[in-house]
């Protein structure tokens, strides 16, 4: 029972990460393209300035929860995907450093260089998270001892790369919705146009990927839930694009957030009760049973989660409420 609960809680943590960090990544990818002046780029960075580092905490908690609740899953995943995760970590470090160093010198070339580093540090994780999750769902070569027997290029298969395209385009769409919601003037208008273009590309990629997932990959015992989640995710994305077209930017942002949340639900439901299928032999699948910690460990973790999770949610919700106003390049103070 407890390992079922923690499988669900880890899915919730990934939903939080994809929804919150997703618009961060999308904004970072769009920064060099939508920001036509230094003032507009500063406005874009200020739009996520109070929240971007807090959003990254979700992936740390998801990784920590996986380590504690399902140590065998964690060991196989992080050892097998080591190089891909190292590239992702390097990109995230570059991204964080870029936010801090961009304004340290009064030079257009200096700032432009860091803007492209923000782009790189946002695009690489946005792509690789999709590649990673697609391979987890499809299954990877795992032997009888739970060891990953492939390499980096094993992950770069057509299905995995398509998953990367889906997360990349969905994050761009989600980020454009956030920009439209948080900025004013020409920047807001360009973001609204980007939502439609990126959203249509994301819709096509997502339909192909989810169809491939449902009919080309072996589903677990919750295959029906996965199908429903996939269909609802598609409906939410269409609703987001329609809301954007009607100028309802708040609803458009909610629509893309719901799309990402339901996509994660569909993938985790497709996995259950597996946490990491073996493409070598189904008997060697890692499941919520053979990959989990002891009941005592899970019980202690559950008590801690019940106490601290509401506090974290309240704090982060308060942060978003305080910084809810739109950002305009016209109202920014002169750069130091």
pLDDT of residue 233: 94
pLDDT in tens, the chain (336 residues): 788 899 999 999 999 999 999 999 999 999 999 988 888 899 999 899 888 888 888 998 999 999 989 999 999 998 888 888 899 999 999 999 999 899 888 888 999 999 999 999 999 999 999 999 999 998 889 988 888 888 888 888 999 999 999 999 999 999 999 999 999 889 999 999 999 999 999 999 998 998 888 887 777 788 889 899 999 999 999 999 999 999 899 999 999 999 999 999 999 999 999 999 988 888 888 998 888 888 888 899 889 888 888 888 898 889 888 888 887 766 666 665
Which of 164, 166, 147 lies closest to 155 in space, CA to CA?
164
CA distance 93 to 206: 29
Q: What is the pLDDT of residue 329?
A: 64
From residue 142, alpha-carbon distances to 134, 148, 270 in Å are: 16, 5, 19
Q: Which CATH superfamily is domain 2-331 in?
A: Formate dehydrogenase/DMSO reductase domain (1.20.1630.10)
CA atoms within 13 A on the CB side of 56: 18
Rounded CA separation 112/266 (Å): 39
User: What is the pTM assigned to this prediction?
Assistant: 0.94
Strand partners, 278: 140
Show me where the domains of the chain are located: 2-331
Neighbouring C-alpha atoms within 13 Å toward the C-beta of 174: 27
What per-residue confidence (pLDDT) applies to 331? 62
pLDDT at res. 19: 95
**SS3 letters for the chain?**
CHHHHHHHHHHHHHHHHHHHHHHHHHHHHHHHHHCCCHHHHHHHHHHHCCCHHHHCHHHHHHHHHHHHHCHHHHHHHHHHCHHHHHHHHHHHHHHHHHHHHCCCCCCHHHHHHHHHHHHHHHHHHHHHHHHHHHHHHHCECECCCCCECCCHHHHCCHHHHHHHHHHHHHHHHHHHHHHHHHECHHHHHHHHHHHHHHHHHHHHHHHHHHHHHHHHCCCCCCHHHHHHHHHHHHHHHHHHHHHHHCCCHHHHHHHHHHHHHHHHHHHHHHHCCEEECECCCHHHCEECCCCCCCHHHHHHHHHHHHHHHHHHHHHHHHHHHHCCCCECHHHCCCCC
Half-sphere exposure of 228 (CA within 13 A, CB side): 5
pLDDT at position 334:
63
Residue 270 CB-half CA count within 13 A: 29
Would you say the C-alpha torsion 273, 162, 83, 95 has a positive or negative sign?
Answer: negative
């Amino acid at each position: 029972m407890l390992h079922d609960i923690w499988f669900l809680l880890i899915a919730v943590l990934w939903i939080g990460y994809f929804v919150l960090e997703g618009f961060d990544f999308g904004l970072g990818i769009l920064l060099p393209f939508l920001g036509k002046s230094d003032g507009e780029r500063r406005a874009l960075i200020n739009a996520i300035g109070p929240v971007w580092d807090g959003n990254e905490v979700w992936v740390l908690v998801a990784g920590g929860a996986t380590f504690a609740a399902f140590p065998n899953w964690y060991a196989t995943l992080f050892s097998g995907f080591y190089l891909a995760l190292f590239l992702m970590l390097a990109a995230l470090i570059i991204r964080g450093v870029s936010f801090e160093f961009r304004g340290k010198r009064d030079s257009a070339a200096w700032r432009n260089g860091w803007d492209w580093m923000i782009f790189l540090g946002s695009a690489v994780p946005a792509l690789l998270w999709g590649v990673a999750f697609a391979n987890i769902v499809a299954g990877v070569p795992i032997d009888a001892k739970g060891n990953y027997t492939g390499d980096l290029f094993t992950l770069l298969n057509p299905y995995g790369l398509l998953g990367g395209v889906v997360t990349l385009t969905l994050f761009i769409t989600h980020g454009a919705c956030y920009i439209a919601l948080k900025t004013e003037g020409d920047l807001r208008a360009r973001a609204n146009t980007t939502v439609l273009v990126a959203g249509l590309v994301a819709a096509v990629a997502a339909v192909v990927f989810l169809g491939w997932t449902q009919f080309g990959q072996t589903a677990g015992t919750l295959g029906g839930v996965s199908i429903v989640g996939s269909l609802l995710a598609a409906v939410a994305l269409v609703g987001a694009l329609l809301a954007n077209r009607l100028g309802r930017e708040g609803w458009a942002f909610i629509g893309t957030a719901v799309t990402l949340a339901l996509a994660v639900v569909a993938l985790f439901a497709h996995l259950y009760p597996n946490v990491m299928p073996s493409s070598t032999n189904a008997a060697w699948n890692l499941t919520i049973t053979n990959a989990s910690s002891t009941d005592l460990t899970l019980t202690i973790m559950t008590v801690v989660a019940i106490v601290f999770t509401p506090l974290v949610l309240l704090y982060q919700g308060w942060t978003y409420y305080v910084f809810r106003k739109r950002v305009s390049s016209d109202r920014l103070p002169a750069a130091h």
